[in-house]
Structure 1
Amino acid sequence: MDLLSKLSSGAELLLAPERVLLPDGIGQDIAVLVAGGRFARVAPLAQLRAERPDLEAIELPQRLLMPGLIDAHTHLTQALGKSLAFGEPSEIFRRIWVPMEASLREEAAYVSAKLASLEALRGGFTTVVDAGTRSDEGIEAVTLAVREAGIRCVLGLTCNDLADPQPEQAYGRLIERAERHLARFEHDALVHPSLAVSIPEVGSDRMLARVAALCAESGRVFQTHANEHLVAVERSLVARGLRPIELLEHCGALNASTLLAHATLLTPREARLLRERGAAVAYNPVASVWKGNAVLDALALHEQGVPFGLGTDGTRYDAFRLLDAAEAMQRIAFGLARGDSSCGGGWTWLEHGTRGGAQAVGLGSVTGAIEEGRAADFLLLDLDVPELQPSWDLGWELVRLADRSQLQAVFVAGRLRLWQGWPVDWDARALMRQVRELACEDIARAPIQRVHPTSDEHRRRAARR
């Protein structure tokens, strides 16, 4: 029986990889028993062989078994327009994302979310945190898409009452919808409910307070963007007289359920508030490079014990390039000036991309680590590649040298989802054809305003100059 057949064969798998990324580092001669969608046992191989003589150990030489990474902040229904944002200045949500998402038909929202889920799995993410769509049909479409793709999803429901033409009437309707959303997915195996207000100033004080309280009571996360750009901070000051994080604190919406996307422009007081209130942050280093004007001082948050995960913000779903960007941006923005040649020592970014990220997004007891009782969300990485020869420090090498092309298998909830980059139980090529058919029409209908030309047009203009 070949390896693919073995990995797909039974309800129980006894895996014997050469290396395992454990919470305290990379171990050898460790075996993992997967049963019922969870890690049933993690122990020395000889011990597990003795405990389970009825199971044949699947030998995985020159393979690393590691937790699937957590994308702590993304937008699944933006995948059809991802390259439209290239070269654009900040606040692109006003000119591109809001008009695009609002124009998506249900089918387009579905294929966008499924395409993003596929990209995420191919990149090594087994969990994505969707910050809430602006598509009226988005929630149902995203739910169907993530289930079919087989990825774990923290699914945000947007509750922007001040963005409604009749905010007074919108409040009650949105709160009722929020309560149904939390109840509907309370015991779902893959979809974990969340509530969101896109940016604090589009939620009334009572809305911010209520959704944060609902999330705290239910053990879910309340998502919002905060301090993403300088203009976002100034807009909040003009609209509400407070900076975004100050506004959340003022409303009682800054607590241990709060997950702030970006938080790049933190004042010392805001950093203290995050620590004291137990709020978490999604650090989005690629977004800072592509469309921001600041970088989160994530190492400072790490030292202060503020939970944070690593997010793509929908830029590109490549977990290993995200690890590299997380470390590189800290080095460029802070480490060089401080003379900090370590900038987290490599392991810090692995930690916040996996177990620390799971904690930040409210799934700390569910996923993010190779530990008994947690969901079996994991990757099999091929170590037999030129880039990792010779290997002296695999932790650092995973951050700087590893690549998604090394991903042999991706498992979510103990089930093989991808083999060598492609789904094992659904047709990704057919989805791609569907994307091509739908994207042109839906994007053409959207009143998108781009500031910069395409790359080829930019080249032509440069030549004329």
Structure 2
Amino acid sequence: MNNLSTFAARELLLVPEQVMRKDGCASGQAVVVRDGRFVRVGPAAQVRAEFPQLRPVELPQRLLMPGLIDAHTHLTQALGKALAFGEPSEIFRRIWVPMEQTLRPEAAYVSAKLAALEALRGGFTTVVDAGTRSEEGLDGIARAAHEVGVRCVLGLTCNDIGHPAGDDAYPQLVKRAEQHLAQYEHDALVHPSLAISIPEVGSDRMLARVSALVREAGRIFQTHANEHLVAVERSLVARGLRPIELLAACDALHPSTLLAHATLLTPSELALLQRQGGAIAYNPVASAWKGNAVLDALQLQAQGVPFALGTDGTRYDAFRLLDAAESAQRYTYGIDRGDSSCGAGWTWLDHGTHRGAVACGLGAVTGAIEEGLAADFLLLDLDVPELAPSWDLSWEVVRLADRSQVEAVFVNGQLRLWQGWPTDWDARALLAQVRAIAREDIARAPIQRVHPTADEHRRRHAG
């Protein structure tokens, strides 16, 4: 097999065993990468003839596939991820808000860098951060994304209701939002976005203004909507409307809106999405770990509502996410309906890659092995017992592949991970830094846990 130096050239002609295109996996294909983009994808013999100056990099028993998109995550929560295990639904109030607000700038940066590394190791080349509650954390996330080399949609939180600045919050946040969009307008890896954590913590005018700003800038607006029963009820009490209805009333529901979760989706709200636009970040692992419901993703697909797959920061493993999406659909809807296919495998691949990129506002940037798009891709080792013999590779990737097969990760044409570890920085040193920083910052945070640790729970059960 090739070594690191093989991939150091500015221009590469890659000839893998299989290439995953939008319409499925195909053999006999070759891919040319130059200056961070795919410049040619086509039949291997033809591509070799067109680029005689390039020495082909033969990749037997390797699948070249798009890097996956994590459509919803919280990068500054990585230092406390296991603290939420076993907790009832609205953990953000008792764990994430107190923790993130306590993080020092260095801790927020280290957390984001750890999460970005986990994402690349798991097969994600793009992460969509929904906005941190750390006042100093935004610059740290951008810095971490650049250092690790992950593509990042970076949300700036613009909650004005309950803001310490009171009536002055609105103009301050609008100014900061405009600066955020301008700061990263031409960034190669960081794509600016605006966010309001949940619709009921944004005033009507803030929801409308933030929404207008992203539409003007060609970016996306992010918010959590209809995730938990209590959130829907809180919105009804505070504003007389369910969260998605509130967004529609404030002109904040449109094709540039990305709703996280939307598990409690009514038929009328689905009709609103069809009529006014909007995409959904579907988080099946979050539903399993702390949710009140599971979204019917195939209904979204049938009705033409764009959706992508997200982790919600639960675990950064793209292949387990694909499997979780299919499994959640089957357990919740497929078994009762006699649907043994539940998306036929390709549904989850598509919404984890090119269709997911469209939902996240990046359809013209990444998500597919196509000429003109950023060269964000994985080399997956197919020479493993789990895939021998292979009969249906796309579905096998969903059900049988795992991140241990990810041999190389490229973002913007640059090799960022080789056999699970970075090529140009010391990840072991980061892990030591994480261990040194995390306990101090977490210990200072006023976190309230309801559920004990697994070992304590075992002791109580035995008693």
TM-score between the two structures when normalised by the length of structure 2: 0.99
Aligned-residue sequence identity (percent) comes to 75
The aligned runs of 1:63-142 (5 Å cut-off) are 63-142=62-141
Quote the Cα distance in structure 2 between the aligned partners of 1:300 and 1:2.
Answer: 44
Aligned to 2:446: 447
Which residue is 1:218 aligned to?
217
Q: For 1:71, give the aligned amino acid.
A: D
- 2:224 paired with 1:194: no
Q: How does 1:141-220 map to 2 (within 5 A)?
A: 141-220=140-219
Q: How does 1:319-338 map to 2 (within 5 A)?
A: 319-338=318-337
Aligned counterparts of 1:190 and 1:380: Cα–Cα separation in 2? 20
Match of 1:347 in 2: 346
Report the AA paired with residue 271 of structure 1. Answer: L
**Distance of 1:283 and 1:448 partners within structure 2:** 27
- Residue 267 of structure 1 is matched in structure 2 by 266
SS in 2 for 1:49: helix
The one-letter code matched in structure 1 to 2:121 is R
* Counterparts of residues 380-395 of structure 1 (less than 5 Å): 380-395=379-394
Tell me which amino acid in the other structure corresponds to 1:5: S
For 1:387 and 1:163, the matched residues in 2 are separated by 52
Instruction: Give, in whole Å, the separation in 2 of the partners of 1:398 and 1:253.
Output: 37
Distance between the aligned counterparts of 1:167 and 1:410, measured in 2? 45
Structure 1 residue 166 displacement after superposition: 3.6
Distance in 1, Cα, partners of 2:387 & 2:299: 30
**d(CA) in 2 for partners of 1:59, 1:305:** 39
> Residues 345-403 of structure 1: CA distance to partner in whole angstroms, max 9, x if unpaired?
10000000000110000000000000000000000000000011111100110000000
Amino acid at match of 1:387: E
Q: Name the residue aligned to 2:3.
A: 3
Q: 1:258 and 1:52 mapped to 2: Cα distance? A: 42
Unpaired runs of at least 5, structure 1: none
| Partner residue in 1 for 2:22 | 23
Matched, 1:239 2:235: no
Cα displacement string for residues 15-65 of structure 1 (whole angstroms, at most 9, x for unaligned residues): 000000001111111000000100000011111111111101000000000
CA positional deviation for 1:142? 0.5
- Secondary structure of the 1:442 match is helix
Equivalents in 2 of 1:348, 1:163: separation in Å?
A: 41
Mapped partners of 1:263, 1:59: distance in 2: 44
Cα deviation, 1:135-175, whole Å, max 9, x if unaligned, reads 01011110111110000000000000003034321000000
Q: Structure 1 residues 271-280 or 446-455, which shifts more?
A: 271-280
- Structure 1 distance, partners of 2:158, 2:199, is 11
* Mapped partners of 2:148, 2:387: distance in 1: 30
Question: The residue matched to 1:183 in structure 2 has which SS?
Answer: helix
2:137 & 2:368 partners in 1: Cα distance? 30
Q: Give the letter aligned to residue 151 of structure 2.
A: R
Q: Take 2:128 and 2:47, find their aligned partners in 1: how far apart are those partners?
A: 35
- CA distance in 2: counterparts of 1:325 and 1:462, whole angstroms: 29
Structure 2 equivalent of residue 420 of structure 1: 419
Question: For each residue in 1:79-105, what CA deviation from the matched residue of structure 2 results, as whole angstroms up to 9, or x when unmatched?
Answer: 000000000000000000000000000
| Deviation for aligned residue 1:268 | 0.3
Gaps of 5+ in 2: none
CA–CA distance in structure 1, aligned partners of residues 277 and 62 of structure 2:
37
C-alpha displacement at 1:217, in angstroms? Answer: 1.1
Amino acid paired to 1:232: A
Aligned to 2:306: 307
For normalisation by structure 1, the TM-score amounts to: 0.99
Give the drift of 1:292. 0.4
Residues 319-361 of structure 1, C-alpha deviation per residue, up to 9 Å, x if partnerless? 0000000000000111111110111010000000000110000
Give the C-alpha shift of residue 231 in structure 1: 0.9
Alignment size in residue pairs: 463
Report the equivalent of 1:360.
359
* Displacement of 1:200: 0.3
Matching of residues 288-303 of structure 1 within 5 Å = 288-303=287-302
Secondary structure of residue in 2 paired with 1:259: strand
Q: Which amino acid aligns with 1:334?
A: Y
Quote the RMSD (CA, aligned, Å): 0.8
Q: Distance between the aligned counterparts of 2:337 and 2:214, measured in 1?
A: 39
Give the deviation of 1:2 after TM superposition: 4.2
1:278 matched to 2:277? The reply is: yes
Q: Which amino acid aligns with 2:17?
A: E
